Structure 1
């Protein structure tokens, strides 16, 4: 079984230091097999914000954590036009990771990170055809029993982003990207960006989407909250590519507590969900489940 902590939208420059410290303490106590961070390390891609993020990452690595990360749209300078279009992710590569599309593989999982952040858009994401080709090629030789995981900052599909049922924009090149994900045999698609937790079967979000389970993370440490959802991150137990536990770890104002805990199983080409016994504490935010739940 692979134990994965999935954090997103750290936003140094608009974050709570107390919550940052609490994430470290929680991870050090649980010792996941891998920490995944799906973008937006900074608020405005400033040097000082990247330095703070780098110090935090170095502390995680110094505590023995393996980390896989991808950049987010906030990791590209917004107001520095020269840098935005001339060297958009140079600071990310200097302070966070030189590899914008990192790969991780062990005996149980194979994980591909893809950079969806682009200079030409302020907030939306995009996957290009070179990345789609890499996705197919890297998973081509992965043994079928391994769980295949894709990590992006922007979700591949249009996501519910408000209480009224409104949907976000899907990533650019959406149809081709979904086709590449299907051909790569992705089992789990992890993303962030919208500061809200969500889980749904991909084929219930868009036609011909394959068998992936789409899992969104909220913001782990940002003070800029949306829909009154508190800071949180995801704790995954990947037992098999057809059997995944998702627990949302939620900030209650003083510490991180166990929130919504759901077991997802896939059989006969369909994902079903079962609530686990340790239900969330009443009054605290939980993961929103779509039709998969």
Structure 2
């Protein structure tokens, strides 16, 4: 079994400083095998905000895999956004926008879904899907996890535009045996199978809200802890205490199956 801690939408620049130390201490005390951060480390992609985000990540003891979010490219500096959108992100978090983590029990692949030309709406690029297919090719035992910023399925309550290429991405990921997709962007918590993948393999979608931001949209600050194996996946939601003293478990969902086909555990 492996444990993956899923953080998203930290939004340094619109963060809660009083919650940072409790979050770091909670993450480190849980000792996950990997921390996956699904984008929006900053609010406006400034040097100071990236520095704060990098300081936070450096304080985490487990290995960390990070993908960018739309807030991690400059919004108001149009020239930089069009010509060098990733310059600051890469300065602080490395050149690889689609990192990968592999061990004996899992493969975790990041995909960059940010479209600098359409700042809010994401884009699942065909080349990113091809890279994921290659990474998962021939795998039958290890759990296969994808980390993106933009979710690929919305509910009627979601007020943001669905990512370009979302439908094709769900089909491709189901077809290549993906087990879990971790995402953020909406600042809401959701765990369950993709409805559109039913019949072709039931991929689990796991949304995290915001780990640190004041932009909570009616939900508390939270993160997910996934316990994954070839036959069972459990997702626990950790929510910030009202006094910001720490985080506590409020929800737990379990699924059984394997090989890209999962159903809710009775």
* TM score, norm. by length of structure 1: 0.85
For the 8 Å contact 2:197–2:203, the answer to whether it is kept is no
Indicate the RMSD between aligned Cα atoms, in angstroms: 1.9
Pairs within 5 Å for 1:67-216 = 67-141=64-138, 143-157=139-153, 159-160=154-155, 162=157, 166=158, 168-202=160-194, 204-205=195-196, 210-216=201-207
For the 8 Å contact 1:113–1:152, the answer to whether it is kept is yes
What is the match of residue 231 of structure 1? Answer: 221
Corresponding residue to 2:235 among 246, 252, 255: 246
By how many angstroms is 1:92 displaced? 0.8
CA distance in 1 between counterparts of 2:19 and 2:94 reads 23
CA distance in 2 between counterparts of 1:146 and 1:139 reads 9
CA distance in 2 between counterparts of 1:115 and 1:161 reads 25
SS in structure 1 opposite 2:59?
helix
Residue 144 to residue 206, structure 1, CA distance change in 2 (3 Å): closer
For the 8 Å contact 2:150–2:185, the answer to whether it is kept is yes
By how many angstroms is 1:179 displaced? 2.8
Question: Alignment length, in residue pairs?
Answer: 263
Unaligned residue ranges in structure 1 (runs of 5+): 275-293
Pairs within 5 Å for 1:27-106 = 27-60=27-60, 63=61, 65-106=62-103
Residue 209 to residue 200, structure 1, CA distance change in 2 (3 Å): farther
Residue 108 to residue 270, structure 1, CA distance change in 2 (3 Å): closer
SS in structure 1 opposite 2:229?
strand
By how many angstroms is 1:129 displaced? 1.5
Residue 114 to residue 209, structure 1, CA distance change in 2 (3 Å): farther
What is the match of residue 16 of structure 1? Answer: 16
CA distance in 2 between counterparts of 1:90 and 1:246 reads 34
Unaligned residue ranges in structure 2 (runs of 5+): none
Residue 116 to residue 28, structure 1, CA distance change in 2 (3 Å): same
SS in structure 2 opposite 1:263?
strand
Corresponding residue to 1:218 among 189, 209, 217: 209
By how many angstroms is 1:219 displaced? 0.4
For the 8 Å contact 2:174–2:197, the answer to whether it is kept is no
Q: State the Cα deviation string for residues 209-261 of structure 1 (Å, max 9, x = none).
A: 632111100100001111x1110000111122x41111100002222111101
Residue 267 to residue 47, structure 1, CA distance change in 2 (3 Å): closer
For the 8 Å contact 1:15–1:221, the answer to whether it is kept is yes
Residue 209 to residue 10, structure 1, CA distance change in 2 (3 Å): farther
